[in-house]
């Protein structure tokens, strides 16, 4: 802090200035007064004494040449008179402690107390002497050229003794001891004439009456010394006063500034996360009213700041949490293209750890030019949508939505923040809003410029695959339907073209057409079954189903074909097995489809077997029935095993169509088993045959009313009709 | 053009080089995929996509030269711009090789493959990793990573040697000309991948040079020269 700007310095400086000015003024006036009165008194004394001396000197002067009685006084006497006068003057001078000079009207020094008058120059030019010669009392303060000290001179004229008879007797008495020249007619000065009020010489012919001048002088050094003493005293007092004022100023300043300093320190210490100072702000000792008000204002401001900060931090954290846990990948970059935000989903989709991505240019972190291009486009101001394919071990399809981040958003945030503030501030809200309405926070030209971009990444791999599956499905269905339709169409055309005429041919053609039509019916039936199974809103009545019965019913249906291929059909289903929980018609259909499949692919005289048992080690808790349908067919290549449950998937396209399948059988099986909560899987060894393993849940009797539970199961009202 | 900071400009060009790297990587990856899956459409896409890489190369080159001419970069900046220029050439070559692989895929078409493709995709994976890491090392000035890339070239070369023996074996067997020709195509594809890995090594070596100012010792570079004399079948 600069010294000149501290409160202490200012108070002290102004105090001192005022004090100094006062002291100087007082001392100047005082010195004047002291000097005036001192000189006045000194002059008065000197006048009195001078009057006395002049009375003593008069007889001598009257006897001098040039005087009125000069003719009568011989020069010889004069010389002795002069010597006597000299002695007189010296004596007097010792008495009154002043230098005495007696000057003749022509300026010659007649007698002098301190020096030899013979060596002295003419004193006519001395101011006081001139004044006195003019008949008045003269006084000056000046450097004595003879003694070279400052002296006060008072000179009085010595008049001829014409005027004052009273003075005669007085002077006679005075002059008694040294009135060698007689005292008759000695001039005297009336006491009045020595008063300062009446200094002017009376009478017109003053010059003539003046016999000489008696001048008294004392050095004024004593005055100066007194004044100097006084000045020293004043200076000492001034210093003490200034020191005292400094102390007082310091105390006052400290009283003012200490709380201010403390306040400043506390306020400086306040920062996000460090609000401890707020308590001490409230607990500061009482101080000046104004400072208390300031402190309270600071406290409430800090409180409000803390509140709004907390609110905005909470909002920010919430937002971050929301973005972080979004299932879409979110990547935001700033205006220089550096990554600002990279959430978990983005991390998973792009395979880049968030810590590595944050703060780096997008292309550096995510080495993919398509995403980078989309984001660059967004940064230049236009949103865009791209679909990108990620290669590598697990190919993915991502849909990238990139959009610019504009300043507008921040304005929106500002408004939101302002609203929040307003809510916090309560009554100040109105005025705050008024204030902000007047001055827009974001100026118009910065508003539209993008400050970065945000890209949202959707994983559409599954979606694209499903779309692929759907379009494949439609393609397959059309293909499957077209083949028999084309055949039927050809047969009908041939019939119309004349084959009709030959009953034998016509019969053959019609039976062929019937076979094709059957296939179409079967296909459409299967498709409908599938569709029903897939639409989850149809309820399927579940109840206890005996696997043994279901299998034997299925076998009955397929008996003809088994016999046709001279297959050996083995059944190993213990009679004491519990029922499974399911729909009797659907369970039967599962076995029909699986057996049909097995029969179809097994060479003549092969073996098809069906076994069932309680699953010894279920993967899922609960009781499960394990059913195996095995054949001795050619088997299924390992690679194709996962796909055989797909619709229209054929391991060997040509052969299986010949055998009249729709390509949907296993798909239906899978769907049915899924609806029952079970599983189905295929195991196969090329050349040795295939085995389909079913796991179905065992029926657990409900505690009450099992009879009623069984009721609706048998009628198959909600079930699906088995094919054929 | 307003004078921007030199660093800023170099950074921008670096981003474009990375973009180009990403394109080249993608081209390589997709070309091998098209070869493996016999996906003609994908192969065609790769062939057509090469034009973009070439354009980008020209654009980057132009910017680099402009930067040198207008801003007179000194010392490290100049070395950096120089290495950017050369890296761009490497990347362009990689993309070219990718196109060549895709052309091989188109040539083979849908005829059944003489053997399931396992080693070639593996080679591609290794080469792609090298490309990615060399660019990472380039961007970060990471010498350790660059050295790793240089070392990684060896297994690629070894794999190429093995493939070479195997495919030459197919050709020697004679008989079906079609099969022999396919073996030649696959051999070419493997050769291209081996070359791509070499270009990645070049980039990595340049990183070491730019950062440390030291050239990589030669034996590290050509420690194992794969089977056939270099350069014979590759001229394309």
Return all residues near A607 (Cβ < 8 A) that are at least 6 apart: A567, A568, A569, A570, A631, A632
* Span A196-219, average pLDDT: 61
Contact A607, A567 (CB under 8 A): yes
Q: Give which of B4, B19, B33 to mutate to test A binding, by max A Cβ within 10 Å.
A: B19
Long-range contacts of B168-175 (CB under 8 A, 24+ apart): B170/B114, B170/B115
Distance to chain B for A295, nearest Cα, Å:
48
- What is the Cα–Cα distance from B114 to B35, expressed in whole angstroms? 12
Q: Do B22 and A369 touch (CB under 8 A)?
A: yes
Helix, strand, coil: what percent of chain A each, to 5? 55, 15, 25
Structure-model confidence comparison of residues A377 and A712, the more confident one: A377
List pLDDT tens digits, range A401-449.
998 887 654 555 555 555 555 555 554 444 444 444 444 444 444 456 6
- What is the Cα–Cα distance from A19 to A252, expressed in whole angstroms? 17
- What is the Cα–Cα distance from A86 to A93, expressed in whole angstroms? 10
DSSP 3-state of A622: coil
Contact B164, B127 (CB under 8 A): no
Q: Do A367 and B18 touch (CB under 8 A)?
A: yes
Q: Which DSSP state fits A698?
A: B
Task: Name which of B18, B26, B139 is nearest A391 (Cβ-Cβ).
Answer: B26
Chain B residues touching residue A373 (CB < 8 angstroms) = 19
pLDDT for res A717: 41
- Measured between its terminal Cα atoms, the distance across chain B in Å is 41
Contact A593, A526 (CB under 8 A): no
Chain B residues touching residue A392 (CB < 8 angstroms) = 29
Place of tokens 């100023």: A249
Q: Give which of A336, A379, A391 to mutate to test B binding, by max B Cβ within 10 Å.
A: A391
A402: left (phi over 0), alpha (psi -120 to 50) or beta: beta
Distances (CA, A) of B122 to A23, B25, B127, B131, B226: 104, 15, 9, 14, 17
Chain B residues touching residue A369 (CB < 8 angstroms) = 18-20, 22-23, 26
Contact of A391 with chain B, judged by CB distance below 8 Å, is answered with yes
Structure-model confidence comparison of residues A285 and A127, the more confident one: A127
Contact of A172 with chain B, judged by CB distance below 8 Å, is answered with no
Element (H, E) at A48: helix A7-62
pLDDT for res B236: 38
Give the residue from B22, B55, B59, B38 showing the smallest Cα distance to B189: B38
List pLDDT tens digits, range A338-370.
888 888 888 888 888 888 888 888 888 888 888
Q: Do A367 and B23 touch (CB under 8 A)?
A: no
Distance to chain B for A463, nearest Cα, Å:
21
Whole-model pTM?
A: 0.53
Computed over every residue of chain A, the mean pLDDT equals: 76
Q: Do B19 and A369 touch (CB under 8 A)?
A: yes
Task: Name which of B19, B30, B132 is nearest A363 (Cβ-Cβ).
Answer: B19
pLDDT for res A157: 86
Chain B residues with a Cβ under 8 Å from any Cβ in chain A: 11, 15, 18-23, 25-26, 29-30, 33, 125, 132, 135, 139
Residue of B nearest to A389 (CA): B26
Burial of B62 by CB count in 10 Å (0-12 exposed, 13-18 middle, 19+ buried)?
Answer: exposed
**In the numeric block, which tokens belong to residue B120?**
């070639």
Contact A513, A492 (CB under 8 A): yes
Residue A147 banded pLDDT, cuts 50, 70, 90: low
Distances (CA, A) of A127 to A59, A130, A247, A688: 25, 5, 54, 161
Place of tokens 């057996």: A595
- What is the Cα–Cα distance from A400 to A385, expressed in whole angstroms? 6
Q: Do A369 and B135 touch (CB under 8 A)?
A: no
Chain B residues touching residue A370 (CB < 8 angstroms) = 22
- What is the Cα–Cα distance from A283 to A280, expressed in whole angstroms? 5
Chain B residues touching residue A391 (CB < 8 angstroms) = 26, 29-30, 33
- What is the Cα–Cα distance from B170 to B184, expressed in whole angstroms? 9
Q: Is the dihedral of CA A181, A183, A185, A188 positive or negative?
A: positive
Does residue B229 carry a pLDDT above 50?
no
List pLDDT tens digits, range A521-573.
888 888 888 888 877 766 778 888 888 888 888 888 888 888 888 888 888 88
**In the numeric block, which tokens belong to residue A55?**
């009375």
Return all residues near A48 (Cβ < 8 A) that are at least 6 apart: A194
pLDDT for res A170: 35
Return all residues near B194 (Cβ < 8 A) that are at least 6 apart: B123, B127, B156, B157, B160, B226
Distances (CA, A) of A160 to A58, A64, A270, B61: 8, 12, 100, 132
Distance to chain A for B159, nearest Cα, Å:
19
Distance to chain B for A396, nearest Cα, Å:
13
Residue A655 banded pLDDT, cuts 50, 70, 90: low
DSSP 3-state of A50: helix
DSSP 3-state of A684: strand
Q: Do A361 and B15 touch (CB under 8 A)?
A: yes
Contact B193, B123 (CB under 8 A): yes
For chain B, the three-class secondary structure string (H helix, E strand, C coil) is CCCCCHHHHHHHHHHHHHHHHHHHHHHHHHHHHHHHHCCHHHHHHHHHHHHHHHHHHHHHHHHHHHHHHHHCCCHHHHHHHHHHHHHHHHHHHHHHHHHHHHHHHHHHCCCCCCCCCCHHHHHHHHHHHHHHHHHHHHHHCCHHHHHHHHHHHHHHHHHHHHHHHHHHHHHHHCCCHHHHHHHHHHHHHHHHHHHHHHHHHHHHHHHHHHHHCCCCCHHHHCCCCCCCCCCCCCCC
**In the numeric block, which tokens belong to residue B100?**
């060549």
Q: Do B19 and A372 touch (CB under 8 A)?
A: yes
pLDDT for res A407: 66
Does residue A195 carry a pLDDT above 80?
no
pLDDT for res B195: 92
pLDDT for res A606: 85
Distance to chain B for A373, nearest Cα, Å:
9
Element (H, E) at A13: helix A7-62
Does residue A73 carry a pLDDT above 50?
no
Task: Name which of A364, A391, A393 is nearest B18 (Cβ-Cβ).
Answer: A364
Residue A618 banded pLDDT, cuts 50, 70, 90: low
pLDDT for res B234: 40
* Span A306-319, average pLDDT: 87
Q: Do A391 and B33 touch (CB under 8 A)?
A: yes
Q: Give which of B18, B46, B52, B121 to mutate to test A binding, by max A Cβ within 10 Å.
A: B18
Distance to chain B for A664, nearest Cα, Å:
27
Task: Name which of B19, B23, B29 is nearest A391 (Cβ-Cβ).
Answer: B29
Contact of A337 with chain B, judged by CB distance below 8 Å, is answered with yes
Chain A residues touching residue B125 (CB < 8 angstroms) = 393
| Length of chain A (residues) | 724
Task: Name which of B18, B26, B30 is nearest A363 (Cβ-Cβ).
Answer: B18
Residue B201 banded pLDDT, cuts 50, 70, 90: very high
Alpha helices (H) in A544-583, listed in sequence order: 547-564
Task: Name which of B15, B30, B132 is nearest A363 (Cβ-Cβ).
Answer: B15
Q: Do B15 and A392 touch (CB under 8 A)?
A: no
Contact of A369 with chain B, judged by CB distance below 8 Å, is answered with yes
Distance to chain B for A626, nearest Cα, Å:
37
Residue of B nearest to A366 (CA): B22
**In the numeric block, which tokens belong to residue A111?**
């007698």
Alpha helices (H) in A97-201, listed in sequence order: 127-133, 165-175
Output the CA torsion A56→A62→A63→A68 (10° steps). Answer: 180
Residue A135 banded pLDDT, cuts 50, 70, 90: confident
Burial of A59 by CB count in 10 Å (0-12 exposed, 13-18 middle, 19+ buried)?
Answer: buried
pLDDT for res B200: 92
Q: Do A392 and B135 touch (CB under 8 A)?
A: no
pLDDT for res B77: 80
Chain A residues touching residue B22 (CB < 8 angstroms) = 363, 367-370, 372
Q: Is the dihedral of CA B184, B186, B187, B192 positive or negative?
A: positive
Kindly write down the DSSP assignment for every residue of A274-315, as one continuous string.
B-THHHHHHTSPP--HHHHHHHHHHHHHHHHHHHHHHHHHHH
Residue B91 banded pLDDT, cuts 50, 70, 90: very high
Q: Give which of A333, A334, A367 to mutate to test B binding, by max B Cβ within 10 Å.
A: A367
Distance to chain B for A649, nearest Cα, Å:
19
| Length of chain B (residues) | 236
Residue of A nearest to B125 (CA): A392
Distances (CA, A) of A279 to A112, A267, A287, A302, B113: 92, 11, 17, 11, 81
Structure-model confidence comparison of residues A637 and B59, the more confident one: B59
pLDDT for res A614: 85
Contact of A367 with chain B, judged by CB distance below 8 Å, is answered with yes
- What is the Cα–Cα distance from A272 to A300, expressed in whole angstroms? 16
CB pairs A-B closer than 8 Å: 37
Residue of B nearest to A365 (CA): B136
Does residue A455 carry a pLDDT above 60?
yes
Residue A196 banded pLDDT, cuts 50, 70, 90: very low
Contact of A377 with chain B, judged by CB distance below 8 Å, is answered with no
Complex-level ipTM: 0.73
Contact of A392 with chain B, judged by CB distance below 8 Å, is answered with yes
List pLDDT tens digits, range A607-617.
888 888 887 77
Q: Which DSSP state fits A470?
A: H
Q: Give which of B5, B7, B22, B95 to mutate to test A binding, by max A Cβ within 10 Å.
A: B22
A470: left (phi over 0), alpha (psi -120 to 50) or beta: alpha
Distances (CA, A) of A289 to A24, A254, A286, A292, A294: 36, 15, 8, 5, 9
Distance to chain B for A548, nearest Cα, Å:
46
- How many other CB atoms are found less than 10 A from the CB of residue A383? 13
Chain A residues touching residue B11 (CB < 8 angstroms) = 361
Alpha helices (H) in A73-182, listed in sequence order: 75-96, 127-133, 165-175
Contact B151, B205 (CB under 8 A): no
DSSP 3-state of A148: coil
* Span B181-199, average pLDDT: 90
Kindly write down the DSSP assignment for every residue of A77-100, as one continuous string.
HHHHHHHHHHHHHHHHHHHHTSEE
Distances (CA, A) of B228 to B158, B187, B191: 12, 11, 10
């Amino acid at each position: 802090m600069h010294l000149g700007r501290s409160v202490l310095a200012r108070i002290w400086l102004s105090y001192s200035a005022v004090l100094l000015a006062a002291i100087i003024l007082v001392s100047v006036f005082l010195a004047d007064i002291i000097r005036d009165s001192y000189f006045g008194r000194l002059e008065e004394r000197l006048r009195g004494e001078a009057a006395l001396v002049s009375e003593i000197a008069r007889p001598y002067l009257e006897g001098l040449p040039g005087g009125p009685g000069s003719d009568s006084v011989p020069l010889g006497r004069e010389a002795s008179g002069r010597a006597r006068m000299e002695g007189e003057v010296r004596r007097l001078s010792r008495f009154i402690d002043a230098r005495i000079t007696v000057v003749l009207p022509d300026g010659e020094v007649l007698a002098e107390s301190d020096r030899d008058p013979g060596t002295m120059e003419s004193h006519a030019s001395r101011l006081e002497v001139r004044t006195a010669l003019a008949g008045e009392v003269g006084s000056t303060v000046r450097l004595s050229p003879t003694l070279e000290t400052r002296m006060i001179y008072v000179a009085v004229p010595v008049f001829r003794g014409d005027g004052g008879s009273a003075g005669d007797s007085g002077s006679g008495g005075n002059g008694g001891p040294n009135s060698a020249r007689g005292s008759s007619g000695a001039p005297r000065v009336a006491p009045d004439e020595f008063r300062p009020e009446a200094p002017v010489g009376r009478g017109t012919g003053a010059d003539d009456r003046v016999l000489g001048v008696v001048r008294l002088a004392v050095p004024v050094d004593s005055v100066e010394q007194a004044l100097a003493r006084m000045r020293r005293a004043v200076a000492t007092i001034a210093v003490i006063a200034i020191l005292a004022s400094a102390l007082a100023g310091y105390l006052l300043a400290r009283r003012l500034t200490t709380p201010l300093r403390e306040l400043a320190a506390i306020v400086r210490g306040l920062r996000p996360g460090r609000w401890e100072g707020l308590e001490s702000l409230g607990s500061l000792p009482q101080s000046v009213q104004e400072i208390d008000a300031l402190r309270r204002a600071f406290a409430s401001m800090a409180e409000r700041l803390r509140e709004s900060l907390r609110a905005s931090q909470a909002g920010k954290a919430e937002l971050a949490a929301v973005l972080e846990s979004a299932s879409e990948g979110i990547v935001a970059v700033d205006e220089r293209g550096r990554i600002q935000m990279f959430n978990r989903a983005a991390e998973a989709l792009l395979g880049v750890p968030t810590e590595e991505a944050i703060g780096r240019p997008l292309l550096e972190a995510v080495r993919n030019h398509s995403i980078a291009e989309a984001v660059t486009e967004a940064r230049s101001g236009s949103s865009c949508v791209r679909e990108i394919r990620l290669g590598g071990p697990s190919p993915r399809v991502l849909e990238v939505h990139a959009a610019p981040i504009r300043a507008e958003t921040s304005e929106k945030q500002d408004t939101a923040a302002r609203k929040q503030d307003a809510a916090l501030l309560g009554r100040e809200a109105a005025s705050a809003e008024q204030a902000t309405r007047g001055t827009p926070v974001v100026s118009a030209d910065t508003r539209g410029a993008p400050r970065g971009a945000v890209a949202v990444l959707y994983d559409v791999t599954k979606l694209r695959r499903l779309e692929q599956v759907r379009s494949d499905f439609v393609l397959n269905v059309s293909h499957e339907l077209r083949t028999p339709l084309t055949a039927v169409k050809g047969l009908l055309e041939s019939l119309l073209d004349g084959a009709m005429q030959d009953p034998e041919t016509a019969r053959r053609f019609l039976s062929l057409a019937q076979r094709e039509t059957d296939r179409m019916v079967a296909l459409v039936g299967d498709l409908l079954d599938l569709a029903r199974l897939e639409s989850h809103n149809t309820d399927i009545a579940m109840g206890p189903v005996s696997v043994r019965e279901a299998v034997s019913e299925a076998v009955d249906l397929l008996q003809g074909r088994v016999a046709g291929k001279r297959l050996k059909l083995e059944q190993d289903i213990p009679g004491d097995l519990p029922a499974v929980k399911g729909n009797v018609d659907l369970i039967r259909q599962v076995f029909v489809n699986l057996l049909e499949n097995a029969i179809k692919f097994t060479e003549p005289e092969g073996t098809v077997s069906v076994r069932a048992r309680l699953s010894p080690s279920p993967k899922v808790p609960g009781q499960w029935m394990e059913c195996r349908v095995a054949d001795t067919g050619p088997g299924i290549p390992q690679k194709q095993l996962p796909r055989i449950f797909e619709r229209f998937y054929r391991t060997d396209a040509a052969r299986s169509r010949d055998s009249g399948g729709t390509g949907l059988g296993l798909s239906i099986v899978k769907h049915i088993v899924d609806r029952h909560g079970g599983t189905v899987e295929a195991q196969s060894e090329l050349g040795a045959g295939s085995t389909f393993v079913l796991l179905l849940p065992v029926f657990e009797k409900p505690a009450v009313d099992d009879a009623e539970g069984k009721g609706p199961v048998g009628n198959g009202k909600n079930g699906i009709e088995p094919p054929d | 053009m307003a004078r921007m900071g030199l660093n800023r400009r170099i950074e921008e060009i670096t981003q474009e080089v990375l973009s180009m790297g990403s394109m080249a990587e993608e081209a390589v990856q997709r070309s091998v995929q098209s070869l493996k899956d016999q996906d003609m459409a994908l192969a065609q896409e790769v062939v057509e996509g090469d034009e973009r890489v070439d354009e980008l190369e020209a654009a980057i080159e132009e910017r680099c030269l402009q930067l040198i001419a207008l801003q007179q970069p000194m010392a490290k900046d100049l070395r950096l711009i120089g290495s950017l220029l050369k890296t761009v050439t490497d990347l362009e070559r990689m993309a070219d090789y990718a196109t060549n692989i895709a052309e091989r895929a188109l040539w083979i078409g849908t005829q059944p493959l003489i053997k399931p493709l396992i080693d070639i995709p593996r080679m591609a994976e290794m080469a792609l990793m090298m490309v990615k890491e060399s660019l990472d090392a380039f961007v970060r000035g990471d010498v350790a990573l660059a050295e790793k890339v240089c070392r990684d070239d060896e297994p690629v070369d070894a794999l190429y040697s093995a493939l070479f023996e195997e495919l030459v074996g197919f050709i020697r067997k004679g008989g079906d000309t079609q099969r022999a020709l396919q073996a030649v195509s696959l051999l070419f594809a493997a050769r291209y991948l081996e070359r791509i890995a070499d270009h990645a090594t070049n980039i990595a070596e340049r990183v070491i040079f730019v950062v440390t100012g030291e050239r990589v010792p030669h034996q590290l570079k050509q420690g194992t020269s794969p089977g056939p004399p270099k350069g014979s079948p590759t001229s394309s």
